[in-house]
A and B are shown apart, each in its own frame.
Chain A
Amino acid sequence: MLFNSFHFLFFFVIVTTVYFLLPHNKRWLLLLASSCYFYMAFVPIYILILGFTIVVDYIAGIFIEKSAGKRRRLYLIISLIANIGILCVFKYYNFINENFSFLLHGFGLSNPMPYLSILLPIGLSFHTFQAMSYTIEVYRGKLPAERHFGIYALYVMFYPQLVAGPIERPQNLLHQFRQKHSFDGDRVFEGLKIMIWGLFKKLVVADRLGIYVNGAYNHLDQQDGMTLIMATIFFSFQIYCDFSGYSDMAIGAAKVMGFDLMTNFKRPIFAKSTGEFWKRWHISLSTWFKDYLYFPLGGNRGTVFRTYINLMIVFLISGLWHGANWTYIIWGGINGFYLVFAIITKKYREKVGELIGLNKFPRFNVFVQIVVTFILISLSRVFFRATSVADAFAVFKKMLTLKGSIFNDGAAIIIYCFSAIFMLLVVEFKREFYTGSLSFSHNKNFWVRTSYYCILIILIILVGVFDGGQFIYFQF
C-alpha cells in the first residue's frame, strides 16, 4: 500500500477515525492490526519474517536485561545475528553468491551454491535497523526491556514508518504508545499539512522528474552527455522529493494520531558542505550509523588516520545498506572519500577562499558552497541511479564529452520538470533562509492558510503524476 494511493487514503481515514473512537487501552491493538494489514498489502507472506525478528528481539531484550557479563553480550549477539542473518539471506545472499562465483571462475572452478529466486521484503533494512537499535539500547542499559509484546511489536511495525523510516529509536517511540493521545484539531491539521506537502513533493516533483530521469537512464545508449547531466541533476531533486516526501507523509500521518516521529530531512539541498549534507539527509540513518557503528569503532577519538578509516567504513557499509550492488558500495565510498578529503583540505580551501576574496562576499560564498556541494552529491548519485558500475562509467564518459543535444520528448515534460523544481526551491528557500517572515503555510490568517493548502491540493491534482509508482527507498 503506497502513501500516494487511494487505497492508503481510505485506510488512513478509517484507521485514524477508529483510533480516536477507541478507548486508550485498545488503541495499540488497532495500530498493530492495521500495521499488519498495511505490511501485508505488499507481500503477505513476508509478515512471517517480520514476526520472527520481532519475537527474537522481544525475547532477547528481556534476556539481556536479566543477565550480565558474557551472557548479556551473548544474547545481544544472538539478536544481532538473527537480524543481520535475515538481511544477508534476503538482501545480500545473491550478491555474495554472484561475486563468489566470479571469484571461483577466476580459478577455473564453478560455484555449487544455487541462485535464490526471492523477492526482497519491502523495507527490510529499515525495520531491521529499528529492531537492532532496541536490543543495543537495552544492552547498553539505556532502556528497560519492553514487557508488553504488543507494544514492542508495534514499535517495529508502526505503519507510518514501517517500510521506509524514519528509523526510530526506542527511547523516542516506545513510550508514546503508552501515552494517551486525545483528539487535538490543531495537531491533526498540522499533521495533514505535513502530509500534503509530502504528497506534493512526491507527485508533483519526484514522479514528474522521474519520467525524464527514467527515460534517460534506462536508455543510456541513446542519450548524449547534456541529457545525462540534466537527468543527473533531476535525479538529485527526484530522490530528495521522493524520500523526504515519504518521510513527511509518515511524520504527518503519525502526528495526526498524536505521535512525534523524528525529523529525517532538513533541506539538504542547501547544505554548504558534504559533511553538513549528511547532517541534513536521512538523519535517522546517519545518526543510527553514528551511534551504533562510528562511535563503537572509535569515532574521531583515535588518530586522524583512524578517523578517516572509521568514516570510510561507515560510508561503505551505508552504501551496502542501500542495496546489494557494487554501485551502492562505490556510492558510499565516494561519499566517505568526500568527507575525508574535506577534512584533509579544510585549511587549504579556507586559504584559497581568502586568496580569491570569496570571504568578502559571504552570501556569494554560501551560494558557491551550496552549488559545489550539490554538484558533488549529484555526481556520486550517478552510481546510485545506474544499474551497474559499467553503466555509471558510461554516464560519466558521456557527460565529459558534452556532445549532442538534450533529449526532449515534448516541451511539456521539460517545462513541467523545471516548474516543479522551481516551486520546490521557492518553498524550501523560504523555509531555510526566511523562517520568521511571511509564511503562507503557517499564516495567522485562517483564509491565507486555507488558500495555500487548497492551491497545493489543486496543483497535485492538476500536475501531479498519478501513475508514478512506488517510492525509490522501498526497495531498500
Chain B
Amino acid sequence: MIKSIYSNTLKSFFFKLLIFLVFVFITDRLLGAMLKKYYFKQEAGYDYLTTYAIEKTSADLLIFGSSRAANIFNTGMFETQLSLSCFNVGRYGEPVFYHYAVLKTTLKRYKPKIILLSFDAGNFSTYQVSYDRMAVLLPYYKDHPEIRDIVALKGPFEKAKLLSNIYPYNSLLLPIISGNIAYSKRKFPHLNGYITLEETFTGELQTIDYTKETALDSKKIAMYKAFIQDCKEAKIPLYIICPPYLINSIGTDASIIEAKKIAAENYIDFFDYSSDSFFTTKPTLFADYRHLNKEGVTLFCNRIIKKIKNAN
C-alpha cells in the first residue's frame, strides 16, 4: 500500500516535471528562433558589424582590434590611398579571442590581401572579463564550427549552456530591438566599421607605471601566435600596430614587449606608436587617453598607410 502511494507520488512528480521541462524547452526553441531571426536582421549597431565581418565582408584589407581599432583606423583613408576595399572589424572591449575567431571565419570564406591587427597595452594581461566578453560570439557558435574551440574557452560549461537557443542572445534583447529600427541605422552609419570620434580630450594626463610585475595570460599569447600563424599560412601580409596613448608612462607594457618579441620571431612588422612623442605631446589629437579623435586619426592613418606602402 505504502509502496503504491510512493510510486504514484513519484509518477505524478516526474509527470509534472516532464511537462514543465517540455514547456521550457518549447518556449526556448520558439523564442530562440525569433531572437536569431531578428539578431541577423539587424542593420545597425555593433552586433550588425560583427555579423557583417563574420558572414559578409569580402574586403581586401581587414583591420582587427578593440575599440582602438574601430575608432583609430579610418577605413575611408585606407581605401582611397591604397586603392583597396577595407573593413574595420574592431569591436569595443574585445580581446584577441574575438580577433582570432573572426579571422578564422573570414579565412574559411576568402583570403584578404592585407590584415592589420591593432594591439593594445595589457592585451595579454590576466583578466577574467576578456573571457566573459566572448559572449558576443555566442550567436555564431552553432553555424560556425571553426570558432567553437575558441568560444569553449569562455567557461567549462559553455557547451551545456548552448543547448539553449535563447542563451546565445543573453542580454541582447535591447540591442536586437535597437538594431532593427531605422533610427539606429541613421545614428550609426556603416562606414565599413570605422566609428569616428569628434570630441577633444580635456582631462588630466594619467601616469601609468608599467614596471610593476603583471601576469601574462598564456591562452591569450597562444591565440595571438595562432593569429600570426594563420596569416602566415594563408600568405597574407600582416602588420601589427599599437596606436598611441595619451599618458605619462613609466617603463613599457609587458604585453607590448611580449607581442613585439613574438612578431619579430615570425618576421612580422610591429609598428609601436604607444609612446610616440609626436602624438603623446598633443592632447588635442585625442578624444580620450586611449583613442585618437578625427584629427589625430588623419595624422596617424597617413603614417600607417605610408609604412604599408613602403613595406610593399
Contact = CB atoms under 8 A, between A and B. Distances in A.
Contacts, number: 68
Contacts of B23: 450-451, 454
Contacts of B24: 454, 457-458
A467 B135 CA distance: 10
B37 interface: no
Interface in A402-460: 411-412, 415-416, 446, 450-451, 453-454, 457-458
Contacts of B174: 411-412, 415-416
Given A182-B6, A412-B174, 6 more contacts: A5-B157, A6-B157, A183-B10, A411-B174, A415-B174, A462-B171
Nearest to A185: B13
A185 B157 contact: no
Contact of A188 (B13, B157, B171): B13
Contacts of A450: 16, 19-20, 23
Interface stretch (B142-150, B160-168, B207-215, B240-248): B160-168
B191 interface: no
Interface of B: 6, 9-10, 12-13, 16, 19-20, 23-24, 27-28, 31, 128-129, 132, 135, 156-157, 160-161, 164, 166-167, 169-171, 173-175, 178
Contacts of B169: 462
Interface residues of A, number: 27
A458 B27 contact: yes
B23 to A, nearest CB: 5
B157 A465 contact: no
A41 interface: no
Interface string A172-216: 000000000011110011000000000000000000000000000
B10 A185 contact: yes
Given A6-B160, A462-B31, A453 B20 contact: yes
Interface of A: 5-7, 182-185, 188-189, 411-412, 415-416, 446, 450-451, 453-454, 457-458, 461-467
B16 A454 contact: no
A-B pairs with the 6 shortest C-beta distances?
A185-B13, A6-B157, A467-B132, A412-B174, A461-B166, A454-B23
B205 to A, nearest CB: 14
Contacts of B157: 5-7
Contacts of A185: 9-10, 12-13, 16
Contacts of B135: 467
B132 A458 contact: no
Contacts of B31: 458, 462
A454 B174 CA distance: 21
6 contacts: A6-B157, A183-B6, A458-B28, A462-B166, A463-B170, A463-B173
Contacts of B19: 450
Contact of A466 (B13, B27, B170): B170
Contacts of A464: 170
B51 to A, nearest CB: 18
A252 B235 CA distance: 58
B160 to A, nearest CB: 6
A466 B9 contact: no
Given A6-B157, A454-B27, A461 B167 contact: yes
Contacts of A7: 156-157
B42 to A, nearest CB: 14
B267 to A, nearest CB: 38
B101 to A, nearest CB: 18
Contact of B170 (A189, A454, A462): A462
B28 A465 contact: no
- Most chain A CB inside 10 Å of its own CB: which residue of B12, B31, B156, B166: B166
A121 to B, nearest CB: 22
Contact of B166 (A411, A412, A453, A458): A458
A189 B18 CA distance: 12
- Most chain A CB inside 10 Å of its own CB: which residue of B24, B160, B169: B24
A320 B13 CA distance: 46
A415 B167 CA distance: 20
B16 to A, nearest CB: 7
Contacts of A458: 24, 27-28, 31, 166
Nearest to A466: B170
B171 A465 contact: yes
A464 B172 CA distance: 11
B181 to A, nearest CB: 13
A412 B178 CA distance: 9
A411 B184 CA distance: 13
- Most chain B CB inside 10 Å of its own CB: which residue of A184, A412, A453: A412
A415 B173 CA distance: 11
A454 B22 CA distance: 10
Contacts of B178: 412
A475 to B, nearest CB: 17
Given A185-B16, A446-B16, A463 B28 contact: no
A88 B214 CA distance: 32
A416 B171 contact: yes
B94 to A, nearest CB: 15
A48 to B, nearest CB: 27
Contacts of B9: 183-185
A461 B28 contact: yes
Nearest to B158: A6
A185 B20 CA distance: 14
Contacts of B10: 183, 185
A181 to B, nearest CB: 13
A466 B161 CA distance: 10
A462 B31 CA distance: 10
Contacts of A184: 9
Contact of B16 (A189, A411, A451, A467): A189
Contacts of B129: 467
